[in-house]
Structure 1
């Protein structure tokens, strides 16, 4: 080390000394996708500004993603992933991911946007699969004496309508779509983690989940650790973590769900919002959370 370098270590940054490494910390927490009404899930529209700001921090050594998500909408997961990767490659900035309670399904898709993934020993990781769920209300509305009125242009626009009986052909079509999404998800995982994976597709891509060290053994993550300890080991004890948060945004927890594709009445909007809330709760409860 030269005399100048030693001097910079001793001087404050304002006087030309060496600045401590800086890592922008971006928290990605919650169900992925729109939840209906004024409820806010993780979407590209809700995270794009935060992602951009994380990569604009100067001087920047790395970006850390803190992930706590049971998954949700596949397209939104992929869009957030793509935005992170695009900026990481454009600016040549390494990305770390730290899984908290759960990084499953779409939550794990967010994690593989990182160059290295860490988790707590009790974090739930994986669920590389596709799931669709809903409710059937046809018997309920019949019992209540409610008549369902639905008008469409296109014979398949009413597929899997929750107020109509299920049809075998509709379920088969849904499974075909799920298979296509699953293939895309598997391709993303193998593209990002391929050389590190230690098990076959029948183990890794069957929708199962694993805890901490087992996920390391399978190559799904790189290590067990939490953000501060890991980044101090990587960048030194003086590393500075800079949280990236919304600026003064207030999120309201409830509201009617008014879809853009149709114009439902208020009752149906409230029902849609309630269903979205129940489905979100169901995603978390799958992992005991």
Structure 2
């Protein structure tokens, strides 16, 4: 009778939400992750009956801090509403905004070779004022508001503009640190200040620092926890028609170039 009962008992479900790519870059038709595009997928991930957990499969070099925060908050709200554990699995990279997403989970696991961390804020650009001068080009900008041309790449860098940018970066960095502390709590180990310099670590180094809970991969860990019969409900962002036809559009190509540049920062 016990065997018959076990055969009839429905298998638990683990929803797998794939969070692959840069966050909030590439335009509306690109391949990046954003809160609006993921809203329906998050709903679907938490919708199945007999849901045992939601697993986040993360492979992201980061991107927009605002979109990172919005996505993570949406996942967290749904997890609290459904009282469902969320477990993150980091693949090649979960850095900067990618690690922000991982911290939406109750537990974080990663591959040995995964790159994690980069808890910081970066802003990069070019100064082209000397180049356009040599070309005989005159820059003409007319504004209503003296601060509208902050960090104009065609004008010499202004010290006040740099200080304003750094003030914004400090605010975002503080928000990032608060998010990590709220998520990881007492699991963080050692000198916390050293964790928030923007440095990156491999899987076991991140585990020793308390940034992740261990080394592990999604399918075997979920089977070990919920049984070999566990069913995986995979949700992923829908590819555009051009992507499905194998012919990405201009916006998608730009997004891919931007993401490639972000991954290159981590040697990927």
| Aligned Cα root-mean-square deviation (Å) | 2.1
Contact kept, 8 Å, 1:37 with 1:254, in 2: the verdict is no
Structure 1 equivalent of residue 98 of structure 2? 107
Structure showing greater relative contact order (alpha-carbon pairs closer than 8 Å, 6 or more residues apart): 2
Aligned residues: 264
**Do residues 280 (structure 1) and 255 (structure 2) align?**
no
Matching residue within 27, 47, 71 for 2:18: 27
Residue pairs, 1:200-211, within 5 angstroms: 200-211=191-202
Residue pairs, 1:261-276, within 5 angstroms: none
Q: Distance in 1 between matches of 2:75 and 2:230?
A: 22
Q: Give the superposition deviation at 1:247.
A: 4.8
Structure 2 length-normalised TM: 0.91
Worse-matched range after superposition: 42-51 or 115-124: 42-51
Matching residue within 247, 250, 257 for 1:255: 250
Query: Residues 21 and 92 (structure 1 numbering): CA distance in 2 closer, same or farther, change over 3 Å?
Result: same
Contact kept, 8 Å, 2:54 with 2:86, in 1: the verdict is yes
Structure 2 equivalent of residue 164 of structure 1? 155
Structure 1 equivalent of residue 130 of structure 2? 139
Q: Distance in 1 between matches of 2:153 and 2:257?
A: 15
Residue pairs, 1:81-120, within 5 angstroms: 81-120=72-111
Q: Distance in 1 between matches of 2:225 and 2:61?
A: 28
Structure 1 equivalent of residue 45 of structure 2? 54
Deviations 1:219-275 (A, max 9, x none): 100110111111011101111111113456436644369xxxxxxxxxxxxxxx96x
Q: Give the superposition deviation at 1:217.
A: 0.9
Worse-matched range after superposition: 78-87 or 194-203: 194-203
Query: Residues 256 and 142 (structure 1 numbering): CA distance in 2 closer, same or farther, change over 3 Å?
Result: farther
Query: Residues 148 and 57 (structure 1 numbering): CA distance in 2 closer, same or farther, change over 3 Å?
Result: farther
Q: Give the superposition deviation at 1:135.
A: 2.0
Q: Which runs of 5+ in 1 are unaligned?
A: 11-16, 258-272
Contact kept, 8 Å, 1:37 with 1:255, in 2: the verdict is no
Q: Distance in 1 between matches of 2:4 and 2:164?
A: 68
Structure 1 length-normalised TM: 0.85
Q: Secondary structure at the match of 2:241?
A: coil
Query: Residues 189 and 248 (structure 1 numbering): CA distance in 2 closer, same or farther, change over 3 Å?
Result: closer
Query: Residues 215 and 158 (structure 1 numbering): CA distance in 2 closer, same or farther, change over 3 Å?
Result: same
Q: Give the superposition deviation at 1:58.
A: 2.3
Q: Give the superposition deviation at 1:279.
A: 4.5
